[in-house]
Amino acid sequence: MKPSIPDDRRDSFRVEMNAMVSAVKVDGSRIVDASDCFPELHVMALQSQSAVIEQEMNLISDRIKDIAVRKILDLLQQKISLMAKLIDIQTAQANNLKTQLIDISTGGCSIVLPDTLEVGDRMALALIFTPSYFSLFTLATLTEQSDRDGLRKYHFRFENLLESQQQTLLKLMFKAQTNLHNT
């Protein structure tokens, strides 16, 4: 089968990462935001936004000269981060999400799904990366499917990722690649 993904998409930076995956087939109706298809996962989407707040807190706490105050702020940040991850884990367990190794770039991803899909199908995807629990909700189109090791692997092209989503995804991808080379 001739690949239907343009060469420039195949040549882009790709990496394998662990993620929990949920997918919903989108019908002909207009969907503005893929997260609307996953109301049960909204908590995780909100949690992923806390990373931006945490970065701002780090910048501010670096300017604090009092060591005791800085230490208290660091400990509070750690506690909040742990509680946020606990909520993410409980949400994932409640929704029976399983982690799988996915191949991803800013242009698309390859995932295993139990569903039977056709090339051209439009899907809403929820990708929750572990261990960061960054959540990516996006619309995607199935461009190709393949069988490997008895599993059906689906290759999706993302639709209109926001610039902020692309930047965060790239950071995670570089971090995953760095961690892979350091092990």
pLDDT for 141 beyond 80:
yes
Q: Which residues partner with 149 through β-bridges? A: none
Helix (H) or strand (E) holding 122: strand 122-129
Q: pTM to 2 decimals?
A: 0.69
Interacting residues of 117 by C-beta distance below 8 A, sequence separation 6+: 25, 123, 142, 145, 154
CATH architecture for segment(s) 7-182:
Beta Barrel (2.40)
Say whether 101 sits in a helix, a strand or coil: strand
CA distance linking residue 4 with residue 51, whole number of Å? 36
Calculate the average pLDDT of the chain. Answer: 80
Give tens-digit pLDDT for 35-69.
777 766 666 666 666 666 777 777 787 788 888 88
Cα–Cα separations (whole angstroms), residue 165 to 10, 79, 160: 20, 26, 10
Q: Which residues, 6 or more positions from 153, have their beta carbon under 8 angstroms from its beta carbon?
A: 110, 111, 112, 145, 146, 147
Give the model's pLDDT for residue 49: 65
Every domain of the chain and the residues it spans: 7-182
- pLDDT (0 to 100) of residue 120: 92
Give 58-108 pLDDT, tens digit per residue.
778 778 888 888 888 888 888 887 777 777 677 666 666 778 999 999 999
